[in-house]
């Protein structure tokens, strides 16, 4: 556990310094440049498809990194791989990320997709998120993603905002990490965490996060 805490601290320090590399985006210009993105992620950054992530209020640096990872083949999705290739130059990507980051933060209040309502599962998911599992060394999600999954700080671009994210998208990402089908996380942290979650725990955590505002 001590090694894990030190690793997280080192990653946080590194990305706090590197955060300036993501500066310089123009949200106004990004709104126009993100027109194709809005077809799946919504003009307000709230997804119109439960399998697509909400981007409203997401860290700009995180958005940029994920698109670049799709461009480099470090992540793969038929739709996003194709879309990432159309993202334009580095400034275009900064502008698009700045636009989505500037929007009202993602929340469960998405009338196109009712939030999770299984109270028992949500309660279980909250416990895992806040406390982890000392028995198998599962690191509590709150340590990296912050209270209610809204992030640790405005300058930390490495850990995404996940509170209010679509539960279907969250569950799929956790399962992809668990199966090793997604491996673009820092130091394999998410792969390690996901492998310690049962299928029901994945659903519970996703229900909890998907219910948040």
Alpha-carbon distance of 86 to 100, in angstroms, equals 17
pLDDT at 18: 46
Query: Which long-range CB contacts under 8 A does 192-196 form with residues at least 24 apart?
Result: 193/138, 193/139, 193/141, 196/133, 196/136, 196/137, 196/138
CB atoms under 10 Å from CB of 83, counted, come to 17
pLDDT at 115: 84
CB atoms under 10 Å from CB of 136, counted, come to 10
pLDDT at 155: 86
Return the DSSP state at 197. Answer: S
Q: Which residues contact 55 (CB under 8 A, 6 or more apart)?
A: 37, 41, 42, 45, 47, 63, 100, 103, 106
CATH topology of domain 20-102: Cytochrome Bc1 Complex; Chain D, domain 2 (1.10.760)
Q: Give pTM, 2 decimals.
A: 0.89
Alpha-carbon distance of 211 to 201, in angstroms, equals 15
Contact 193, 177 (CB under 8 A): yes
Residue for token pair 């909250």: 126
Q: What residue ranges of the chain are covered by domains with CATH 1.10.760.10?
A: 2-11+111-210, 20-102
Q: Which residue intervals of 19-166 are DSSP H helices?
A: 27-33, 35-41, 60-72, 78-84, 90-102, 119-131, 142-145
Per the structure block, which two tokens stand in for 121? 């599962």
pLDDT at 11: 53
pLDDT tens-place values along the chain, 213 residues long: 555 555 555 555 555 444 455 668 999 999 999 999 999 999 999 998 999 999 999 999 999 999 999 999 999 999 999 999 998 899 999 999 999 999 999 999 766 677 888 999 999 999 999 999 999 999 999 999 999 999 988 888 999 999 999 999 999 999 999 999 999 999 999 999 999 999 999 999 999 999 999
Write down the CATH number for the domain with range 2-11+111-210: 1.10.760.10
Comparing CA positions, the residue from 130, 134, 135, 168 lying closest to residue 149 is 130
Per the structure block, which two tokens stand in for 52? 């697509």
Cα 146 to its chain centre, rounded Å, is 12
């Amino acid at each position: 556990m001590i090694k894990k805490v030190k690793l997280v601290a080192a990653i946080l320090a590194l990305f706090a310094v590197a955060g300036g590399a993501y500066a310089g985006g123009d949200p106004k210009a990004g709104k126009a440049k993100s027109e194709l993105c809005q077809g799946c992620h919504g003009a307000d950054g709230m997804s119109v498809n439960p399998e697509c992530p909400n981007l409203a209020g997401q860290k700009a640096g995180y958005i940029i990194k994920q698109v670049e990872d799709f461009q480099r083949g470090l992540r793969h999705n038929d739709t996003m791989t194709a879309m990432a290739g159309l993202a334009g130059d580095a400034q275009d990507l900064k502008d698009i990320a700045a636009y989505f980051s500037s929007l009202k933060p993602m929340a469960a209040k998405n009338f196109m997709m009712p939030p999770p309502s299984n109270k028992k599962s949500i309660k279980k998911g909250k416990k895992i998120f806040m406390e982890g599992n000392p028995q198998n060394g599962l690191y509590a999600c709150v340590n990296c993603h912050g209270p209610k999954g809204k992030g640790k700080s405005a300058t930390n671009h490495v850990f995404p905002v996940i509170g209010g994210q679509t539960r279907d998208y969250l569950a799929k990402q956790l399962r992809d990490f668990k199966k090793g089908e997604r491996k673009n996380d820092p130091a394999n942290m998410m792969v390690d965490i996901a492998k310690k979650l049962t299928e029901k725990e994945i659903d519970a955590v996703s229900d909890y996060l998907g219910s948040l505002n």
